[in-house]
Amino acid sequence: MPAAPADRRFVLTLSCPDRPGLVAGVATFLASFDGWILEAAHHSDAVTGRFFMRQEVRADSVPFGLTELRGRFAEVAAKFEMTWAIHDTAEPPRTVFLCSKQDHCIVDLLHRWRTNDLPCELVAVVSNHDDLRSFVEWHDVPYHHIPVPPGSREDKQPAFDAVRKLCRELDADTLVLARYMQIVPPDFCDAWPNRILNIHHSFLPSFVGGKPYHQAYDRGVKLVGATCHYVTPDLDAGPIIEQDVVRVNHADTVDDMVRRGRDVERRVLATGVRLHLEHRVLVHGNKTVVFP
């Protein structure tokens, strides 16, 4: 649902080459029309010489609409060579969750969505199995079953084409792979750059690919974890948004690791999705700046 007028905010995010006057330039612009700043954060990367900023402004303090705000800020952005965006919290991202048979992540996300912990317009759940239809539809969310056959990438491509077509028809802005258990093809990744989020059940870059808990068990690690990251054509190598770990020991079996890891997966994915939906993640190369 759209945010209530008193809570409506314009969220400005930007990055640019670091130089003196950046913070003052943005602050002066907002002060020129008495813009009411509710939240402000910035980061200067000494290694890359890049500057990052996120500002939240009360929408009712801006005496004109979003289109004019963007038009006026474009002059400031050009002066400082900024890559930037201004988002309206009254227009939450249109989001699709994708899942498979394992339900722990999708169950958690749906609960958080119903309790308004995830600021998005959930337009559909897509699955390659039909097992979770009744549970999803109980939440009054459309459920689309698009089977993905086993086999080569070429065998699976028609299914991914169907998923991509559906998401385009739904005008989806953000896709969340909630244990979807499929490697999406490069053209799919390129269609939503830095807008497809995945949960991988290991502390990346350790144990990429399939059966990471089995890999961790064989290696005898003392910590297992989970990673929420953006999906890129390189398997499990996209920019990392959120991570966490849980301690294990020599007495734990693979099943123990899986059981403990599920709790971490749920928490990490939910946190990563919320940070993305609130426009708190700025991507630079293969790294992210995350404003809490």
pLDDT at residue number 67: 97
pLDDT at residue number 272: 98
What is the biggest distance separating any 2 CA atoms in the chain, rounded to whole angstroms?
63
pLDDT at residue number 4: 45
The residue ranges of DSSP E strands in the chain, in sequence order, are 9-17, 37-45, 50-58, 83-88, 94-99, 121-127, 143-145, 174-177, 196-200, 223-230, 240-247, 281-284, 287-290
Sequence-separated contacts (24+) of 31-38 with Cβ below 8 Å? 33/62, 33/63, 33/64, 34/61, 34/63, 35/61, 35/62, 36/61, 38/9
Confidence of residue 6 (pLDDT cuts 50, 70, 90): low
Amino acid in position 269: L
CB atoms within 10 A of CB 75: 9
pLDDT at residue number 1: 42
Phi, psi of 100 (to 5 degrees): -125, -135
Q: What is the overall mean pLDDT for the chain?
A: 95
Q: Is residue 90's pLDDT more than 80?
A: yes
Cα distance between residue 290 and residue 287, in whole Å: 10
Q: Is residue 264's pLDDT more than 80?
A: yes
Residue tagged active-site, from 108, 173, 236, 252: 236
On the CB side of 212, CA atoms within 13 Å amount to 21
Q: Are 55 and 11 in contact (CB under 8 A)?
A: yes
Q: What is the pLDDT of residues 92-103, one digit of tens each?
A: 999 999 999 999
Amino acid in position 41: A
Nearest residue to 172 via CA among 99, 115, 238, 92: 92
CB atoms within 10 A of CB 5: 9
Q: By mean pLDDT, which of 11-15, 202-206, 277-281 is the weakest?
A: 202-206
pLDDT at residue number 2: 47
Cβ within 8 Å of residue 109, ≥6 positions away = 97, 118, 176, 178, 269, 270, 273
Catalytic, 236? Answer: yes
